[in-house]
Amino acid sequence: MAIKFEFYESPHTIGTDKKHYHARVVNWQRIDTDHLAREIHHSSSLTIADIKATLISLSEKLVYHLKDGARVHLEGIGYFHISLACPETHSPQKTRANKVKFKSVTFRADKYLKKELSATKTERSKYKPHSASLTEEQIDLLLTEYFRTNNVLTRRVLEQLCMMKRATAGRHMARLAKEGKLRNISIPHNPIYEPAPGFYGREKLPEPVSEPEGGTTDGTGSETGHRPTKETIIETI
């Protein structure tokens, strides 16, 4: 077992003559609770249901104690605690408590976990997942094929579809939305996109039918909607 990696250009050197590169893990596999429960089940006498129930209970108790401001330590895994955010102030006494909000959960790995991972082998990936290798036309072709069997697109799906990193996928999503090829059907901070009419296999909206100048026509082809003439008024009378 070895961690696959690839070299990526550092963001602060993009567009410059002096390039710097850094290594990133290349692995698009996501291990979920069900997967872990099955693995633990095969190496123990516990049932999958019992394992999942324990993990769910662990998550609930972790939230409970973090809400109380506690620092939670899971032996062999690490330490969890929350971080806070508030507006910058020169007078803490004038800052109301309701201005201080939850920011994030901070994790620090346990010594045992870091020790076990320190000897992990690494090897360069055989695949080149750099998103720069895909042109805009190639991305359009992949999206056209994707939307044949799917109705919506998220950033995570675009990452996996085009083998992109998160930031790159986000830039392409924003570009496609600006070009009018995708439209967001969710909230701005958690966008979910669908193809705009006329793109990626979706039918283009019909052009609006313009009325003939001077009025519309009836079933005989005669124009209607004209102002009545003096002779028409006299005949009517």
The SS3 assignment for 92 reads helix
Would you identify the CATH topology of the domain 131-195?
Arc Repressor Mutant, subunit A (1.10.10)
Phi, psi (degrees; rounded to nearest 5) at 121 = -80, 150
Phi, psi (degrees; rounded to nearest 5) at 168 = -65, -45
Characterise 136 by phi-psi region: left (phi > 0), alpha (psi -120 to 50), beta (else).
alpha
Q: How many CA atoms lie within 13 A of 159 on its CB side?
A: 13
- Which residues, other chains included, contact 83 with Cβ-Cβ below 8 Å and sequence gap of 6+? 103, 104, 105, 106
pLDDT of residue 216: 53
pLDDT of residue 214: 57
* Same fold across 33-120 and 131-195: no
Higher local confidence (pLDDT), 94 or 38: 38
Higher local confidence (pLDDT), 27 or 85: 85
Architecture of the domain defined by 33-120: Irregular (4.10)
pLDDT of residue 160: 81
pLDDT value at 234 more than 50 = no
Cβ(9)–Cβ(21) below 8 Å: yes
pLDDT value at 233 more than 50 = no
Asked whether the CA dihedral 187, 193, 199, 201 is positive or negative, the reply is negative
Cβ(139)–Cβ(122) below 8 Å: no
Helices and strands (DSSP H and E) totals, the chain: 7, 10
DSSP class per residue in 167-194: HHHHHHHHHHHHTTSEEE-S-TTS--EE
What average pLDDT does the chain have? 84
Sequence ranges of the domains in the chain: 33-120, 131-195
CA distance 155 to 173: 7
pLDDT digits over 122-163, tens only? Answer: 998 776 655 546 788 989 999 999 999 899 999 988 988 887
pLDDT digits over 179-216, tens only? Answer: 999 999 999 888 999 999 999 988 887 776 666 665 55
pLDDT digits over 59-78, tens only? Answer: 999 999 999 999 999 999 99
